């Protein structure tokens, strides 16, 4: 149920944009959700509708009608994180298999965004309530499936988010995955080129003749009696691309019950390497994560 909340702007937060002020006050609600409230007229300044870029002044009264039960993202939670690297602009973390990257309609806690929101603001969790400009909003520049583990690059500033998003769009970021697939592959290396699309009625992503171009390079690292350890390079970034392409190639990933893989305790897909240009210095940096113990134990 929606409720009407009022905030009186004090001298300490003057010259702050309306949308930034609300982002800081409602840290567990997405930016898109809040901007839509402003645009729809559910947020008023001194009794009048405004726009997201309105510059707040001392003495302004902000009224917003919001359904707090509709919170969808970034509620701070003290969930452990495995951090590979951190500076003022970026963070590189190793996401475990089974962790959602961001909250959904049905699960709003225990996700990577919940954990990042807490970690990045843990030293000033109280002050952010008084000055929303202190709040660090984690920026996702790419995603991993819930069942996929591995390295993720997070932006800590709007500048880093803009630059890294541009790098991903221009395919300047190098990503490599480790996968254990069913069967032994004869070729040492190759390319899987098959378009991927969404089947609306089945709510399912798969190979589709009129889908978007999807290309994956693979290289055999080791062969076993009934499995192959692969290094996968996604040239494009379609939904479930690596899983779909491995199945299409006749070698589904172990643990991939959705796309025909052999039953196992987890999906044997791990984002093992990431290389990119630093968003501030433009220096090239790379990180590598070892194959998870569960996947090692399977082999």
CB 261 within 8 A of CB 255: yes
Question: Which tokens go with 187?
Answer: 């070729």
Catalytic residue IDs: 145
Residue 127 is predicted with a pLDDT of 46
Q: Which CATH class is domain 172-298?
A: alpha beta
- Dihedral angle sign, alpha carbons of residues 30, 35, 40, 44: positive
Q: Which CATH superfamily is domain 3-70 in?
A: RNA-binding S4 domain (3.10.290.10)
How far from the centroid of its chain's Cα atoms is residue 94's Cα?
Answer: 12
Residue 145 is predicted with a pLDDT of 92
Residue located via tokens 């309105």: 54
Residue 223 is predicted with a pLDDT of 96
What are the residue ranges in the chain where pLDDT is below 70? 1-2, 10-15, 24, 27-30, 68-74, 105, 124-135
**Model pTM?**
0.77
For domain 83-167, is the CATH number 3.30.2350.10?
A: yes
State the burial class of residue 198 (Cβ atoms within 10 Å of its Cβ: 0-12, 13-18, 19+). middle
Residue 36 is predicted with a pLDDT of 84
Would you give the DSSP letter of residue 187?
A: -
Equal fold, 3-70 vs 172-298? no
Residue 68 is predicted with a pLDDT of 62
Distance CA 122, CA 195 (A): 43
Question: Which tokens go with 185?
Answer: 């592959």
Question: Which tokens go with 215?
Answer: 């290309």
Residue 290 is predicted with a pLDDT of 96
Q: Where are the domains of the chain?
A: 3-70, 83-167, 172-298
CB 160 within 8 A of CB 89: yes
């Amino acid at each position: 149920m929606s409720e009407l909340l009022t905030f009186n702007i004090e001298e300490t937060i003057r010259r702050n944009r309306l949308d930034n002020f609300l982002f800081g006050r409602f840290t567990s609600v997405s930016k898109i959700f809040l901007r839509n409230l402003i645009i729809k007229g559910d947020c008023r300044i001194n009794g009048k509708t405004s726009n997201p870029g309105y510059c707040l002044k001392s003495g302004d009264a902000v009224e917003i009608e919001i359904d707090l039960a509709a919170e969808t993202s970034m509620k701070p939670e003290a969930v452990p994180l495995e951090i590979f690297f951190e500076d003022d602009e970026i963070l590189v973390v190793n996401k475990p298999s089974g962790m959602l990257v961001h909250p959904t309609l049905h699960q709003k806690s225990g996700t990577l965004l919940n954990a990042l929101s807490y970690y990045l603001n843990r030293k000033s969790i109280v002050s952010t309530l008084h000055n929303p400009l202190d709040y660090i909003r984690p920026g996702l520049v790419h995603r991993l499936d819930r069942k996929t583990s591995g390295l993720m690059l997070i932006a800590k500033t709007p500048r880093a988010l803009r630059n890294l998003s541009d790098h991903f769009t221009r395919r300047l970021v190098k990503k490599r995955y480790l996968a254990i697939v069913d069967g032994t592959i004869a070729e040492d290396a190759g390319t899987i080129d098959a378009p991927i699309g969404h089947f609306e009625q089945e709510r399912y992503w798969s190979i589709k003749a009129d889908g978007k171009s999807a290309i994956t390079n693979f290289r055999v690292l080791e062969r076993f009696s009934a499995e192959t350890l692969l290094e996968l390079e996604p040239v494009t970034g379609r939904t479930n691309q690596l899983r779909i392409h491995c199945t299409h190639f006749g070698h589904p990933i172990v643990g991939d019950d959705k796309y025909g893989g052999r039953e196992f305790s987890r999906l044997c897909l791990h984002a093992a390497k990431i290389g990119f240009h630093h968003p501030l210095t433009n220096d090239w940096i790379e990180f590598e994560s070892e194959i998870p113990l569960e996947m090692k134990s399977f082999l």
